[in-house]
Structure formats: C-alpha cells, structure tokens
C-alpha cells in the first residue's frame, strides 16, 4: 500500500495499515500526527487496533542489521 | 487490512473539551464539517457557562446563539439538576470536586437512550435505535471510560479529528489550530483515538464520509 493511498484514510485505518505492516511507523506518525512511537501505540490502544506481536520482514531485517555486529560468526 | 463494511455515523455528541478548544481558536465552524447534527447535553452546556471568563466561553455562547444553532441541539438529561446542585456545593466549599464525572455521565446516558432523546424544549428528536453516535472528546482515557463500555458509539479525539481535516484539505494545519488553542490559555490533551463502533461482527462505523461530502461540495462551489 502506498502512503498516498492513505492520505484520505481515517486515523483508525492508518493505524491498522501500520499494524498490518503496510506502512512504516514513521509514515504512520506523519499521517496521524503522533509525535513518537509510544503515542502511536497509545493511539492503537485507544482506537482498538490490535497490536501484532510478530515482526514484519522489513522490521526483522532492520533488527538483524542493527545487531549483526554483536553476534559472532 | 480492513475488510469490514462501514456504516456511517448519523450524529455527533460533543463533549465540553473540544467545544471549548475550538472556541479558543475561533474555529467552531469546523463542527459543520462533519455534515451531521451536533448534540450537546444540557450538563455540557452548563459546564462551559458556569465560569465567567473561562477561555472561549463568550465565543461558545455567541456561536450557539447564532450560526451554530442551525446544526446544534441541546439535549435534556436527568443530570442537570444534580449538576446545578454540585456547582453550588463547589461554590460553598462543601465539596470542591462535586461536578467531576457528571458531564461524562450525561454523555453515557445519551448513548444509552438514543431512541428517547428530547431537546431542552421537550421536543422529541428523530434518532432511531440503529443510528450510530460519534462522541467527540479529548478527555481520555479516563473520561472516555464510560463510553468505552458501549461498543455502539464511535469515539474520536480532537487531535485525530483535526489531523484528518488537515489531510483532507479542509484546514491548512492542525498544529496551527492547536497552537492557537494553547495561546488562548487551554492545553489540548495528547489523547488520540479514532475508535469505530462495532455494529455487528462485520460492520463498523465510519465518520469520514460526511466530511468528504462537505469537501466535495466545497470543491463544486469553487468550480467556476
């Protein structure tokens, strides 16, 4: 999904798209006006958007890139 | 991805917080962007007129006596007499917190009694049991608690509403309005919510269609 598709979406649908992995947290913050990740999670909670517990592939790649130096061969 | 069907909300129940905030920024006209009637509990109206000199009070009173009166209806609830008594208790010092929670209770009562609503003049309002109300609030998560229990009400916070109006092109900047409200002496809560009502298993409420119709109508008005 493109961010431009969500320009006219409701806040609830934007939060849902973020939790579906369709947009990044930064894109969700820009669209909803949330100032940080904590506010984004709070908005999900207040908007009854279920939080996923499994990382998306993109998030997993980000974590792997971040910790690769810390893990031995 | 959202797969549920959307059912439009049919009326807006405004809490005192958003009304006072909009009055501070002189943006009460934005309530008309819902394209739906706005209902206000008698207690909520009393809440903003009890403190002389409170931010936005004069603008609110003027607006509802003039332009806003076309869209706004004041609802009779059983809480007004209790609220007036509570104001007296606060004024005398007997109980400094006597009015706390009464505005929320009035809104909760309205949501439970949609088919039986009456204006303060005693006129019955045509609100069917299947209609869906949207509660515009900035009082959360605690004030939102009484509404949270009722899954048939859509809840929208002032911040998320203004941000959506910005994305739809109805206002240039939600941040500028919030700054204006704060310059008027009022702090807008960080609370952010856009929680659809759960009408049934596959259907949830949506408030944005009315606003999009207003946006489309405005575009047509501007067409040469």
Confidence of residue B89 (pLDDT cuts 50, 70, 90): very high
- Token pair, residue B40, equals 């206000």
Q: pLDDT tens digits, residue range B181-209?
A: 999 888 888 899 999 988 877 788 999 99
Region of poorest pLDDT, from B135-139, B155-159, B165-169: B135-139
* B160: chain A residues, CB-CB within 8 Å: 11, 32-33, 43
Instruction: Give pLDDT, residue B181.
Output: 93
Number of neighbouring beta carbons within 10 Å of residue B96? 11
Task: Name the residue of chain B whose CA is nearest to A16's CA.
Answer: B1
* B164: chain A residues, CB-CB within 8 Å: 10-11
Confidence of residue B180 (pLDDT cuts 50, 70, 90): very high
Q: Average pLDDT in the B49-57 region? A: 71
Confidence of residue B134 (pLDDT cuts 50, 70, 90): very high
Q: Average pLDDT in the B34-49 region? A: 87
- Integer CA distances (angstroms), A38 to B134, B157, B191, B192, in order: 26, 17, 12, 12
- Of the partner residues A8, A31, A46, the one whose CB lies closest to the CB of residue B193: A46
Across the interface, whether the CB atoms of B192 and A43 are under 8 A apart is answered yes
CA distance A15 to A10: 9
* A30: chain B residues, CB-CB within 8 Å: none
Task: Name the residue of chain A whose CA is nearest to B139's CA.
Answer: A46
- Token pair, residue B1, equals 């991805």
CATH number 3.40.50.300 given to B5-222: no
CA distance B61 to B48: 9
Evaluate if residue B149 carries a pLDDT over 70.
Answer: no
Low-confidence ranges of chain A (pLDDT < 70): 1-2, 73
- Of the partner residues A12, A34, A39, the one whose CB lies closest to the CB of residue B195: A12
Boundaries of every domain in chain B: 5-222
Evaluate if residue B71 carries a pLDDT over 80.
Answer: no
Distance from CA of A50 to the nearest CA of B (A): 12
CA distance B2 to B145: 25
Task: Name the residue of chain A whose CA is nearest to B198's CA.
Answer: A48
Evaluate if residue B104 carries a pLDDT over 90.
Answer: no
- Of the partner residues A13, A20, A46, the one whose CB lies closest to the CB of residue B192: A46
Across the interface, whether the CB atoms of A48 and B1 are under 8 A apart is answered no
Region of poorest pLDDT, from B1-5, B126-130, B216-220: B1-5
CA distance B180 to B214: 24
CA distance B13 to B174: 21
* A47: chain B residues, CB-CB within 8 Å: 192-195
Q: What is the interface pTM, i.e. ipTM, of the complex?
A: 0.84
Among B161, B194, B208, which would you mutate to test the A interface (most chain A Cβ atoms within 10 Å of its Cβ)? B194
Instruction: Give pLDDT, residue A35.
Output: 93
Instruction: Give pLDDT, residue A40.
Output: 95
* B206: chain A residues, CB-CB within 8 Å: 10
Across the interface, whether the CB atoms of A33 and B159 are under 8 A apart is answered yes
Instruction: Give pLDDT, residue B141.
Output: 62
Q: pLDDT tens digits, residue range A7-26?
A: 889 999 999 999 998 999 99
* A20: chain B residues, CB-CB within 8 Å: 1
Across the interface, whether the CB atoms of B163 and A33 are under 8 A apart is answered yes
Confidence of residue B46 (pLDDT cuts 50, 70, 90): confident
Q: What share of chain B in percent tops pLDDT 70?
A: 88
């Amino acid at each position: 999904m493109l961010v431009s598709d969500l320009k006219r979406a409701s806040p609830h649908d934007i939060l849902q798209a973020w939790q579906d992995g369709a947009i990044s947290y930064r894109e969700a913050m820009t669209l909803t006006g949330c100032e940080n990740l904590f506010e984004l999670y709070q908005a999900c909670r207040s908007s009854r958007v279920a939080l996923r517990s499994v990382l998306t592939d993109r998030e997993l790649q980000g974590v792997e890139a971040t910790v690769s130096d810390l893990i031995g061969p | 991805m959202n797969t549920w069907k959307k059912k439009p909300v049919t009326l807006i129940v405004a809490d005192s917080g958003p009304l006072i905030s909009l009055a501070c920024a002189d943006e009460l006209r934005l309530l008309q962007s819902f394209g739906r009637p706005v209902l206000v509990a008698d207690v909520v109206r009393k809440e903003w007129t009890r403190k002389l000199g409170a931010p936005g009070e004069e603008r609110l009173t003027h607006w509802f006596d003039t332009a806003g009166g076309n869209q706004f209806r004041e609802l009779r609830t059983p809480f007004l007499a209790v609220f007036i008594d509570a104001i007296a208790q606060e004024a005398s010092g007997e109980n400094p917190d006597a009015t706390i929670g009464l505005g929320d209770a009035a809104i909760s009562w309205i949501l439970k009694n949609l088919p039986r609503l009456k204006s303060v003049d005693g006129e019955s309002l045509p609100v069917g049991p299947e209609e869906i109300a949207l509660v515009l609030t900035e009082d959360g998560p605690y004030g939102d608690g009484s509404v949270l229990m009722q899954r048939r009400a859509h809840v929208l916070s002032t911040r998320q509403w203004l941000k959506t109006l910005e994305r739809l092109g109805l206002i240039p900047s939600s941040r500028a309005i919030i700054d204006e409200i704060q310059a008027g002496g009022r702090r807008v809560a960080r609370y952010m919510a856009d929680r659809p009502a759960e009408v049934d298993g596959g259907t949830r409420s949506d408030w944005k269609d009315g606003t999009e119709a207003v946006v489309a109508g405005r575009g047509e008005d501007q067409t040469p």
